[in-house]
Amino acid sequence: MKSVKKSVKEKAGAVVCRNMPGAEPQVLLVTSRKLPGFWVFPVGSVEKGESLPEAAARECAEESGYHVQLGELLTEVNDTSDSGKPVRFTFYIAEEKGEAETWEQDRERKWMPLSQAAALLPEIFHPVARAAQEKMRTLRCAEERQRLKELLLAKSYRQGTFTLTSGKTSDFYIDGKQTTLDAEGGWLCGRLLFELIRQAPQPIGGVGGMTLGADPLVTATAIASHLAGSPIPAFIVRKEAKGHGTGNYLEGKNNLQPGCAVALLEDVVTTGGTLLKVIERVEKEGFKVGLVATVVDREEGGAEVLAQAGYPLKAIFTRSQLIG
């Protein structure tokens, strides 16, 4: 006997997010009618003649009282209705564009940090919350990267004839500290370097670098990690061993777990010599180097030298990305 293929019931909804400067994005939730005690993203059935985006925008206005502008398709989730019919939920990322004149007054609505939404959502929508977190993180990083580029070009990039630390001459100079010591610039560097640490192939237990150039970077990155709920302690590598007291090369060593993997940072990399020296000192202290990262890679051999030594360089910007 032939099996009868069940048609899929289509539902569409929106994950409406608010960007919060210096804080985690917030997301809009409404109370569920079918699942008392749960909150949900605005979502409902697609009516005859409606497209999925049209249904998502309408449902959002009816259930939450907010008109929205839909962005990209976020994700799809499959479920089964009480009658056994397959149901497909299609969600879009969205932003609010004003309040509707009327909406379903028997529902409550609230904004809350995106990372806390899953605790209030039914399990079927947990993948939607995770997809929204990843999408908002990607969008936020793109915005922050563009803003940092503007600051670097305005504050740090100079044209002329310069002698670099390596002894080479150059027709341009990037004075990274003019940006890393700026309040906004330092914060953006910390945020974006922390994102690189999040992508590292192994857990990172500390973030450090050679004084003086790395000092503001390791501090900003440690603060960004704390605000993100994944605190990573900072440490500083001295140019010379301390002449009194402990005699350490590493300041902040006691905050690190013995033998942990660490991330090493630099504001600008040319030949990679400074980072190789830092790597040597850090490994002599018994730590593993899990990530080497910089704000700007001048693309003058440093990345290749580090890669040959077994430490691929990650950069927020290469020279070509920053100035073409």
CA 258 to each of CA 58, 282, 288: distance values in angstroms, whole numbers, following the listed order: 56, 11, 10
Whole-model pTM? Answer: 0.84
pLDDT of 4 above 50: no
pLDDT of 5 above 70: no
Residue 119 pLDDT grade (very low, low, confident, very high; cuts 50, 70, 90): very high
- Note whether 121 and 39 are within 8 A (CB): yes
Angle at 196 between CA 255 and CA 73, to 5 degrees: 135
**What is the predicted pLDDT for the residue at 24?**
79
pLDDT of 116 above 50: yes
For the chain, the domains span: 9-121, 145-323
What average pLDDT does the segment 257-285 reach? 96
pLDDT of 43 above 60: yes
pLDDT of 242 above 80: no
* Chain segment 214-226, per-residue pLDDT in tens: 999 999 999 999 9
* Chain segment 226-240, per-residue pLDDT in tens: 988 899 999 999 998
Percent of the chain with pLDDT over 70: 96
202-225 CB burial, b ≥16 within 10 A, e <16: eebbbbbbbeebbbbbbbbbbbbb
Superfamily classification of domain 9-121: Nucleoside Triphosphate Pyrophosphohydrolase (3.90.79.10)
When mean pLDDT is compared across 23-27, 74-78, 144-148, 268-272, the lowest value belongs to 23-27
Look up the CATH architecture of domain 145-323: 3-Layer(aba) Sandwich (3.40)
**What is the predicted pLDDT for the residue at 229?**
87
pLDDT of 2 above 50: no
pLDDT of 130 above 70: yes
What average pLDDT does the segment 262-275 reach? 96
pLDDT of 244 above 60: no
Residue 61 pLDDT grade (very low, low, confident, very high; cuts 50, 70, 90): very high
Q: Out of 2-6, 85-89, 136-140, give the one with best mean pLDDT.
A: 85-89
**What is the predicted pLDDT for the residue at 1?**
43
The C-alpha atoms of residue 140 and residue 128 are separated, in whole angstroms, by 18
When mean pLDDT is compared across 67-76, 152-161, 200-209, 244-253, the lowest value belongs to 244-253
Question: How confident is the prediction for the chain on average, in pLDDT?
Answer: 93
pLDDT of 127 above 90: yes
**What is the predicted pLDDT for the residue at 245?**
54
**What is the predicted pLDDT for the residue at 3?**
46
What average pLDDT does the segment 156-178 reach? 89
pLDDT of 295 above 50: yes
